[in-house]
């Protein structure tokens, strides 16, 4: 079992290991001292792992209630959030008890936000079941829901007390959902880990190793900038353009695919502006393609810029964009609208010959 400590305001551990799900009742003992827990999960994950978790907890002497909501981003709303709060209240959970989020990023974000606000904050444990949740959303304490006007607009910083990640749980994922999570893992490689990048790009990787490497990178960034005031922005590599692609496609392009396309585009722009070599950009494109994602941007530079201009991450008329210096090294660059437009166009409108 691999243990990674996250040095947030309240430090916690991420435990990664195959078969660890079978020992959940033993591993949560230090956190869940009251032996009273509320499990939150979606219907798909519930049908796969819900009963096993509840049975194990009961075998360990825990008293457990479970809340199941319909799977998918469409459930990440104030309404589901309210239903979870009602469920916690009806289960008479106290501040000493614990919420357990079993699922992907949607479940983690919803349950974390409910745990952040129920009784002004109770403990929660993340058990990620998607690759995206394992390498990204289960660590770092960003919780929240979507509003009708946009994604992730209401939420709170609330760190989990423990993250239990069993790569065996990811084996039931379909290929596309797994590939979507791999985009985030590739992002970690481009940001800070050449070995990780090469193993993903080369197609020979071990899920446990990939998760551990990504969590280490995220733990370091979150430890240095828990509340997203500086360095944490690095985790947005490929996301500014990615979010614009998702939005312009009315979310028919998945997040992971959009981020893959966004990273390839930013790499092309970075090469064209002299931040990195064109070989580096070509390697990034090839790695994105190796995951099965397209590397082009299916919209014009002007259209993408139109959406980016309204990004919530802007401050004043400046936008922080993550540029690539090399594989394993990226940098935050603040651009005004004119610079941003030129930069975006360089990776989209004059798509290079590296495809």
Ligand X SMILES: NC(=O)c1ccc[n+]([C@@H]2O[C@H](COP(=O)([O-])OP(=O)(O)OC[C@H]3O[C@@H](n4cnc5c(N)ncnc54)[C@H](O)[C@@H]3O)[C@@H](O)[C@H]2O)c1
Choose the binding region for ligand X from 86-94, 103-111, 197-205, 290-298 (rule: CB under 6 A).
103-111
Which residues 173-212 are close enough to bind ligand X by CB under 6 A? 173, 177
Site for ligand X, residues 70 to 99, rule: CB under 6 A: 71-73, 76
User: How far is the C-alpha of 286 from the C-alpha of 303, rounded, in Å?
Assistant: 25
Give the contact letters, 104-123, x = binds to ligand X (CB under 6 A), - = no.
xxxx-x--------------
Among positions 36, 66, 123, 142, the unique one binding ligand X when judged by CB under 6 A: 142
Rounded to 5 degrees, φ, ψ at 68 are: -120, 130
In the 8-state DSSP scheme, what is residue 171?
A: G
Q: Among 268, 257, 262, which Cα is nearest to 241's?
A: 262
Quick one: which of 271, 268, 336 has its CA closest to 308? 336
User: Where does the chain show beta strands of DSSP type E?
Assistant: 2-6, 12-16, 36-42, 63-69, 98-103, 123-128, 142-147, 150-157, 162-165, 318-326, 329-336
For residue 187, the tally of other CB atoms under 10 A from its CB is: 29
Quote the CA–CA distance of 270 and 236 in Å, as a whole number.
Answer: 15
- Residue 48 as a binder of ligand X (CB under 6 A): the answer is yes
Residue 133 CB, nearest approach to ligand X (Å): 5
From 86-94, 129-137, 206-214, 257-265, span contacting ligand X (CB under 6 A): 129-137
**Stretch of 38-46, 200-208, 226-234, 289-297 contacting ligand X, by CB under 6 A:** 38-46
Q: What are phi and psi of 40, to 5 degrees?
A: -120, 130
- With respect to ligand X, which residue has the nearer C-beta, 80 or 137? 137
162 binds ligand X (CB under 6 A): no
When the beta carbons of 130 and 285 are compared against ligand X, the nearer one is: 130
Instruction: Give the binding range for ligand X (CB under 6 A) out of 23-31, 126-134, 264-272, 301-309.
Output: 126-134
Binding site for ligand X (CB under 6 A): 42, 44-45, 48, 71-73, 76, 103-107, 109, 129-130, 132-133, 136-137, 140, 142, 151-152, 169-170, 172-173, 177
């Amino acid at each position: 079992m691999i243990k990674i400590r996250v040095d947030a305001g309240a430090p916690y551990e991420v435990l990664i290991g195959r078969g660890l799900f079978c020992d959940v009742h033993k591993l949560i003992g230090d956190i869940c001292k009251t032996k009273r827990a509320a499990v939150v999960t979606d219907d798909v994950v519930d049908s796969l792992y819900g009963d096993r978790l509840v049975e194990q907890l009961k075998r360990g002497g825990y008293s457990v209630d479970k809340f199941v909501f319909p799977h998918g981003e469409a459930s990440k709303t104030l309404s589901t959030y309210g239903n979870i709060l009602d469920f916690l209240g009806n289960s008479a959970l106290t501040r000493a008890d614990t919420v357990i989020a079993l699922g992907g990023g949607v479940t983690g974000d919803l349950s974390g936000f409910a745990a952040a606000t129920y009784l002004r904050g109770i403990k929660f444990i993340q058990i990620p079941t998607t690759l995206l949740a394992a390498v990204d959303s289960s660590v770092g304490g960003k919780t929240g829901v979507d509003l009708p006007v946009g994604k992730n607009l209401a939420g709170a910083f609330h760190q989990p007390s423990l993250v239990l990640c069993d790569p065996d749980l990811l084996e039931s994922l379909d290929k596309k959902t797994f590939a979507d999570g791999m985009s985030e893992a590739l992002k970690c490689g481009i940001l800070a880990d050449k070995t990780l990048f090469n193993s993903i790009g080369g197609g020979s990787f071990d899920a446990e190793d990939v998760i551990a490497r990504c969590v280490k990178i995220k733990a370091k960034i979150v430890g240095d900038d828990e509340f997203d005031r500086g360095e944490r922005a690095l985790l947005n590599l490929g996301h500014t353009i990615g979010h614009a692609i998702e939005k312009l496609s009315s979310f028919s392009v998945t997040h992971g695919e959009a981020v893959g396309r966004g990273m390839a585009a930013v790499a092309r722009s970075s090469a064209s502006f002299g931040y990195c070599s064109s070989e580096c950009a070509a390697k990034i494109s090839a790695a994105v393609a190796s995951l099965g994602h397209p590397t082009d941007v299916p919209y014009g530079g002007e259209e993408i810029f139109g959406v980016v201009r309204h990004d919530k991450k802007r401050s004043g008329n400046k936008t922080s964009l993550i540029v690539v210096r090399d594989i394993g090294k990226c940098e935050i660059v603040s651009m005004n609208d004119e610079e941003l437009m030129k930069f975006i166009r360089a990776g989209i409108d004059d798509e290079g010959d590296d495809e």
